Structure 1
Amino acid sequence: MALALSPAGEVLFLAARVLFGGVLAFMGLNHFTDAESMAGYAGAKGVPAAGIMVPFTGGMLLVGGLLVAAGAYPLVGAGALAAFLLVATPKMHDFWNAGDPQERQNETISFLKNVGLLGTALAFLALSAEAWPYAVGL
């Protein structure tokens, strides 16, 4: 069964997929290009085996983002993104533990941004059983 969208709705859905998936894929790519500093930050936040987890989660973001953008295996792509955001958001952006007001503000902004991204990932996950318009068949 395909999503029941108007032609304009299909284009908007494609744009949403590409924007959302592209941003998260880019974030995943940064886990590889800036792995050392990201692992240091993750380690400071108490992430175990941060040197392994940073590239692992980078892969989740990169592959998940590309799959959502392409519309291929949307259950896998949206599921990987939702799982990452569900776990990483409270762990990495625990604004309630920040003592410095500037740090608290920065962590609050990042936390809320990730909550919004999680909501979008869940929406795409809810639609993953339907055929997506302009999906790349893999």
Structure 2
Amino acid sequence: MVFETTGGAIAFLLARVLLGGMLAFTGINHFMQTDQMSGYAELKGVPAPTLSVVASGVMLVFGGLSLILGFYPVIGAGALATFLIVATPKMHDFWNAPEDQQQSEMTAFLKNVGLLGGVLIVLALGGTTWPYALDMGLF
């Protein structure tokens, strides 16, 4: 079993809080800065930029909270993975950015790739019973 020790269970809880909290906070930022983010999304060619910013904010908040709480974690992690797979190459296309913006776009791109890795680990563990969770199961 993955969580045989208390230390392992606590480490997994801490990882869930850190990963989920960061992603949920990012989603809240989508609501606090909708106008600015919509303008940037429009520049990147995102269709319905305001709706896209709000919808992605919902995905991030729901997904982040689902990881923290263990509440439908596979659905939450699936929402997060979908967001990261779609948004990362669209919003942080460093290969198309002007030279003075390439480094910051590459950093954002790589951050999202790392976050996607963490979310995929959560998906891989989704079928197990999580310690310190609401334990709502797969779906």
TM-score, L = length of structure 1: 0.95
- TM superposition outliers: structure 1 runs of 4+ over 2 Å: 2-5
Deviation at 1:137, TM superposition (A): 4.4
Correspondences of 1:31-46 after superposition (within 5 Å) = 31-46=30-45
CA contact (8 A) 1:93 1:107 kept: yes
Q: Per-residue CA shift, 1:30-89, capped at 9, x if unaligned?
A: 000100000000110010000101000000000100000111111111111111001100
Structure 1 unaligned spans of 5+? none
Partner of 1:120: 118
CA contact (8 A) 2:3 2:131 kept: no
3-state DSSP of counterpart to 2:95: helix
- RMSD over aligned Cα, in angstroms? 1.1
1:133 to 2:131 alignment: yes
Say how many residue pairs are matched: 136
TM-score, L = length of structure 2: 0.94
1:82 to 2:81 alignment: yes
Larger RCO (CA under 8 A, 6+ residues apart) = 1
CA contact (8 A) 1:21 1:66 kept: yes
Aligned residue identity for 1:121: V
CA distance in structure 2 between the aligned counterparts of 1:14 and 1:107, rounded to whole angstroms: 31
Aligned residue identity for 1:57: S
